[in-house]
Structure 1
Amino acid sequence: MFNSNHLESPVQRIHHPLLTAKRIELLVKRDDLLHPTVQGNKWRKLKHNLLELKRRKNDALLTFGGPFSNHLYATAMVSKLFKIPAHIIVRGPHLDLQNPTLRLAKACGAHLHAVTRLEYRQRYDNNYLKDLEKRFPNTFIVPEGGSNQFALQGCQELAQSLPQSDYVCCAVGSGGTFAGILNGIPNTTQLLGFSVLKGAKYLQTEILKLNPEAASYNNWQLLHDFHDGGYGKFSETLWSFCQMMTRTYHLPLEPIYTGKMMFGLWQLIEQDYFPTNSKIIAIHTGGLQGLDGLRYRKLI
């Protein structure tokens, strides 16, 4: 039922004078092309959650997200595709149904429950989760962003689909994608995570919580200098870079996740961070629906 038998997402090679001069090979894993509607790391994370829901014979799915969340969008799409009722706790307190993400979720038939920011902060609290289990019986609960043990399995599969490389790079929000990729790459490959949040040193702890084995690995690192002001924030320079990549390489980027990672990676290449003849794979984790939200808020 939930087997993703569609083709694996393609890998795109980037040709640029900078890369030639530095003798760097740069490939982009185009997980934004993984599925027509549920792309990137959100499908990778949801796939095994859905298999677990089926195994437990649950009737519905419940999760959490901000009003412009990629995870909210993907969950609503999955709900429609597989005919699984979905309840989404939305950080509120009000639903703006002109918001393109929420409008899509509503059109998919997802049940949206706006809560105050105060209540939303309880989304990891065990007592709050128990209350939700009573309110929504026989419902499978997925954490915000989809990051849990089942998500790691899907992200490990992503890593195992990659060609051999010296470095793998990805954007880091909640840490789930990064923690899963770490399980799927050889220990000779370095994994670099570009944090999209400001002051997110806690991500180290989150990754170790999700993947305790990571404590014994020495092939991973989180980079905290490329958040460009914090989550959801971005400079004109970053946005110009995203537009250049879209125009020149037909590589669409949004400036919240993958755009920040690619721009940070580009700066590291300019700064000779990588040894000559390095082969780098950058993961495009999707999230392009976020561009509609940025346009709606007149931020681009």
Structure 2
Amino acid sequence: MNQSISIEFPNAIKLTIKREDLIHPFISGNKFRKLKYNLLQAKSEKQETLLTFGGAFSNHIAAVAYAGKEQGFKTIGIIRGDELRGKIIENPTLLFAQECGMEFEFVSRESYRLKNEPSFIADLKQKFGQFYLVPEGGTNELAVKGCEEILTDDDAVFDFVCCSLGTGGTISGIINSILPHQKVLGFPSLKGDFLKEEIRNFVRINTNWELITDYHFGGYGKISPELIDFINQFYATTKIPLDPIYTGKMVFGVIDLIKRNYFPKNSKILLIHTGGIQGVKGMNIKLKNKKLPIINIYD
């Protein structure tokens, strides 16, 4: 599942991309890893319904919807933004999830912030009955367990392991599975370094990892013509599609750090492709509306 790309740099640095996006056509990358043990747990509890949370173009919503269809669960998505009600047909992610059988509950952004409150969950149970709760982004201890399986024995040759992050579950699993000589670099898609505390809740070691917070391009869901051009050029050169929310920013950041001599000479760097390609169609709709260049990762 690794795909090497050859890029010439003065310090003889080698990049390898681990194509986690190819694990499954619809439950790709870290979503497959995060859901693996949660689905097993839901079955062991004899639950029939999965309930989770997400935004308009959420990779997680799409993955849970398909996983439910594939494994026989009813699925409910609590969607941030009550203005989206009635606009499903205009949204590729929500339309896909609906076609997989997911039922939606649209809530205001203000209400959505209460999603972790016991009273909010109690109200959902009152309305929908019993369900297995999958957190926003899928991150919990079972998700981290699944992400600990991303690295294999073959990856022991690498000095650095890099990944994007939104909720911190994927990087936590990777940190738990690295070898002593390796360092993990996380590239948050959100502003700030508040995710450090979330990660510390899940990792067994608090060394050999660092968050690189300079490549969020303005924050979650924010992109720029520079990033679009990078993703398009990267695809034209390598035929590897990147998403603009997570992996695209991470790959941009790693290559920029190489140019800035961040990595020692002869470093072997593994980049984890966490998927998220389904969100590109939705992003392109937004870009077209703003009369900006679109992301061209389709032959």
| Structure 1 residue 278: Cα displacement | 0.8
| Structure 1 residue 245: Cα displacement | 1.0
Q: Which residue of 2 aligns with 1:168?
A: 161
TM-score, structure 2 length as denominator? Answer: 0.92
| Structure 1 residue 268: Cα displacement | 0.5
CA displacement, residues 140-172 of structure 1 (integer Å, 9 cap, x when unaligned): 001100000110011001123651210000001
Q: Which residue of 1 aligns with 2:182?
A: 189
Q: Which residues in structure 2 correspond to 1:269-284 (within 5 Å)?
A: 269-284=258-273
1:198 is aligned to 2:187: no
For 2:8, the aligned partner's letter is: P
1:48 is aligned to 2:37: yes
Q: Distance in 1 between matches of 2:16 and 2:171?
A: 18
1:146 is aligned to 2:135: no
| Structure 1 residue 221: Cα displacement | 0.5
Match among 225, 231, 238 for residue 236 of structure 1: 225
Evaluate the alpha carbon distance shift between residue 219 and residue 261 of structure 1 in structure 2; reply closer, same or farther with a 3 A threshold. Answer: same
Contact 2:22 2:28 in 1 (8 A): yes
Q: Which runs of 5+ in 2 are unaligned?
A: 295-299
Match among 70, 86, 90 for residue 59 of structure 2: 70
For 1:147, the aligned partner's letter is: T
Q: Which residues in structure 2 correspond to 1:107-186 (within 5 Å)?
A: 107-160=99-152, 163-164=155-156, 165-186=158-179
Aligned length: 285
Q: Distance in 1 between matches of 2:67 and 2:285?
A: 24
Q: Which residue of 2 aligns with 1:210?
A: 202
For 1:118, the aligned partner's letter is: E
1:259 is aligned to 2:248: yes
Evaluate the alpha carbon distance shift between residue 160 and residue 17 of structure 1 in structure 2; reply closer, same or farther with a 3 A threshold. Answer: closer
Q: Which residue of 2 aligns with 1:7?
A: none
CA displacement, residues 177-208 of structure 1 (integer Å, 9 cap, x when unaligned): 11111111112210000111112x21001111
For 1:178, the aligned partner's letter is: I
Contact 2:28 2:275 in 1 (8 A): yes
Contact 1:258 1:284 in 2 (8 A): yes
Q: Distance in 1 between matches of 2:148 and 2:249?
A: 22
For 2:94, the aligned partner's letter is: L
Q: CA RMSD in A?
A: 1.3
Q: What is the percentage of aligned positions where both structures have the same residue?
A: 45
Q: Distance in 1 between matches of 2:2 and 2:19?
A: 6
Q: Distance in 1 between matches of 2:171 and 2:101?
A: 31
Match among 211, 228, 236 for residue 247 of structure 1: 236
| Structure 1 residue 71: Cα displacement | 0.3
Evaluate the alpha carbon distance shift between residue 107 and residue 23 of structure 1 in structure 2; reply closer, same or farther with a 3 A threshold. Answer: same
Q: Which residue of 1 aligns with 2:72?
A: 83
Q: Distance in 1 between matches of 2:29 and 2:184?
A: 18
Report the secondary structure of 2:199's partner residue.
Answer: helix
Contact 1:67 1:91 in 2 (8 A): yes
Evaluate the alpha carbon distance shift between residue 51 and residue 109 of structure 1 in structure 2; reply closer, same or farther with a 3 A threshold. Answer: same
Q: Distance in 2 between matches of 1:69 and 1:56?
A: 26
Report the secondary structure of 1:264's partner residue.
Answer: helix
Evaluate the alpha carbon distance shift between residue 296 and residue 162 of structure 1 in structure 2; reply closer, same or farther with a 3 A threshold. Answer: farther
Deviating above 6 A after TM superposition, structure 1's stretches of 4 or more consecutive aligned residues are none
| Structure 1 residue 131: Cα displacement | 2.7
Contact 1:196 1:231 in 2 (8 A): yes
CA displacement, residues 90-147 of structure 1 (integer Å, 9 cap, x when unaligned): 0121322120101111111100111111111111112212332333333100110000
Contact 2:257 2:263 in 1 (8 A): yes
Report the secondary structure of 1:283's partner residue.
Answer: strand
For 1:237, the aligned partner's letter is: E
CA displacement, residues 73-101 of structure 1 (integer Å, 9 cap, x when unaligned): 11111111112100110012132212010
